[in-house]
Structure 1
């Protein structure tokens, strides 16, 4: 991550070439080669895992109409947010780490910081939308329903609100020159502007949504796992909530917990930095970059965690991934009972896949080809044909098809 080397405001003269060597080590700019290699390898691995995992999520949901539920629209939005971080933040952060300067120009400095603050905000509001959807689906299923149109509107509003809240990044983050180096600041300025704005971002983009998510899921968990009978709390033996929805809630709880753990250090460090800068502890760039790089790397790991959670907690996602990897392998494709080898119009309308039993069909075909009553051709016998007709199997008790 780009580390600012702005001189403390108490100094009226910029550092000369004589004392630059004393300033930069104090700011932690001169890192060892081992540190740079470790940071580079870690970020490359995060980038590869993030791109592959989130692209796989989008492909699985796109290919299977059975997975295109309202919840999965939110899941795709989370994947797009992680992909935006991977393509618009990670490569530029890597270039900053390797070159120890900002070489991408002033406009990209503002754009990268804008994306860096927009995506976490959009993610938390999409998670809040999922919590609202699950709350009404499970507790008040008849009073309110989040349709696909409403889900799309909630996603658009989440992104627009986060983008508007992060728009001041184009004003606060501009390239700075120090000792023949162009650097992109990483912190907000340590004055009343930075304190007020960072406090607003922390409250609106992090604290309030997290509190609402916790309250909503608390109500949902209480409704699922306990029922009140005569003032006593009983185990969930008579609760009518389907087991598939309970599994979905468990998976979403893990997703929210991982977001809370991975992005909390990032917001807390920014807020603590601007507050301490106002108190005179240090200036905008006078801070150890090791802590900042660590928090950014932890935040980037959130882009990798969601596909892993889906893989562990959702069998349908695993099945969709296996189908994607088996598309070029016809043997694997035929042996998979979930693969759609033939689809009737009824199946297309109701998203039902049929697997053809090749052994039975071949046997039936061979029997029908045998001559009857000494004739070379087979006579038309409707009843005989009806008896030999093999119905293709339809799985009646399939697993839950929603992520």
Structure 2
């Protein structure tokens, strides 16, 4: 019975001439086409969306503010992720093979971890910026200066580079499991990343749980402060009959918009990244038994956060919609187009 089953199975290897070659993923042509189509769409949305943010903030002088520089740097990280990481990861995830050599595997993986971490760190610093803008608006301009924002950007990139290149290129992820990896998991033609317990805990804390906790606390505080401010405006409106109706409408709209925006910000971030970092945190403690297909699926959920970032942090702004219109209609090539008032 077993021999007949083995005879009907067709096992394909990444490299047929190698003894320790990885096996190709056994997927139908229709499924492969569907997965490639989904991946290409995700890559295009990520690249085009963040490129539009980069062009808009770089071109229009009215957008040259400390806050927008944070959004610009975030868009650069997400744009590079879409260009330099996602296309290679798409082939690796679908085919289960890596054809570009071990050195490029380490390089691509380093950029992968670095740019994902950079995106998360930028989101964290943007939440800090929004905290001072909403909760302490009178001191906002003195506390969030250009120098402070540049320091935030510099910290995001340096810390993410340490997370990515330091961990992968120096093989810090294999310190505890080097023998296990090369004896039981490694195969020729693969690009598999595993972490020991200590590395997994440190990486998850630095790259997700700590920034995520900070963001959750900050946005919770922002929500309550924004709600309190909206109610205060409502109380003033009730005492001033002449502006009652307009103020009531404005405050109610503001309260709903604050709740909706903050819900989307935290909801998308947690939905996209929680599955991967939860499984990555647990995997070393269950003897690395998590299926690789599950890791790939969860990592692509995380990638989608970079596609959604332009929508959340830029498309919600009216200035961006006006900038987008000028970009798509090629008005940015006209004289003095950089001085167009977008507000």
TM-score range, shorter chain: 0.7 to 0.9
SS at match of 2:189: strand
Are 1:300 and 2:303 an aligned pair? yes
- Say whether the 8 Å CA contact 2:47–2:79 is kept in structure 1: yes
How big is the shift at 1:196? 0.7
**Structure 1: any 5+ residue segments left out of the alignment?**
1-16, 189-193, 228-232, 334-338, 354-398
Counterparts of 1:103 and 1:20 in 2: how far apart (Å)? 14
**Structure 2: how far apart are the matches of 1:138 and 1:165?**
31
Is the Cα contact below 8 Å between 1:137 and 1:145 reproduced in 2? no
More helix by share: 2
Of the candidates 104, 114, 118, which is equivalent to residue 118 of structure 1? Answer: 114
Pick aligned residue for 2:46 from 50, 59, 65: 50
Normalized against structure 1, the TM-score is what?
A: 0.64
Corresponding residue number in structure 2 for 1:151: 149
Contact 2:272-2:305 at 8 Å conserved across structures: yes
| Secondary structure of the structure 2 residue equivalent to 1:104 | coil
- 1:151 is displaced (CA, Å) by 0.4
8 Å Cα contact 2:77-2:115 kept in structure 1: yes
Larger gyration radius, structure 1 or structure 2? 1
Give the equivalent residue in structure 1 for 2:12. none
Whether contact under 8 Å (1:36, 1:97) holds in the other structure is: no
Instruction: Identify which of 16, 28, 33 aligns with 1:32.
Output: 28
Deviation track 1:98-130 (CA, whole Å, cap 9, x = no partner) reads 654211111211122222222232222212212
1:258 pairs with 261, 268, 271, which one? 268
Equivalent of 2:294 in 291, 296, 300: 291
* Superposition pairs of residues 332-371 of structure 1, within 5 angstroms: 353=341
Q: Which residue of 2 aligns with 1:387?
A: none
Counterpart for residue 212 of structure 1: 214
Using the TM superposition, give the Cα deviation of residue 206 of structure 1 relative to its aligned residue in structure 2, in angstroms: 1.1
Q: Please give the alpha-carbon distance, in whole angstroms, between the structure 2 residues aligned to 1:342 and 1:83.
A: 27
Shift in Å at residue 97 of structure 1? 4.3
Give the superposition deviation at 1:295. 1.1
Measure the CA separation in 2 of the matches of 1:139 and 1:239. Answer: 19
1:305 and 1:259 map into 2 onto residues whose CA distance is: 9
Given the superposition, is the C-alpha separation of residues 217 and 100 from structure 1 closer, same or farther in structure 2, using an over 3 Å criterion? closer
Structure 1 residues 245 and 108: alpha-carbon distance in aligned structure 2, compared to 1, 3 A threshold: farther
Show the 5 A alignment for 1:3-402. Answer: 29-97=25-93, 99-143=95-139, 144-166=142-164, 167-170=166-169, 171=171, 172=173, 181-188=188-195, 194-226=196-228, 234=231, 236-237=233-234, 251=261, 254-277=264-287, 282=289, 287-310=290-313, 312-327=315-330, 353=341, 401=343
Instruction: Measure the CA separation in 1 of the matches of 2:285 and 2:233.
Output: 48
Which piece of structure 1 moves more, 106-115 or 141-150?
A: 141-150
> RMSD value over aligned CA atoms?
3.7
Report the 3-state secondary structure (helix = DSSP H, G, I; strand = E; otherwise coil) of the residue aligned with 1:295.
Answer: helix
Give the 3-state SS of the residue equivalent to 2:97 in structure 1: coil
Unaligned runs of 5+ in 2: 1-16, 238-249
Separation of aligned partners in 2, 1:179 and 1:187: 10
Give me the TM-score of the superposition, normalised by structure 2: 0.75
Q: SS where residue 103 of structure 1 aligns?
A: coil
Mapped partners of 2:152, 2:309: distance in 1: 20
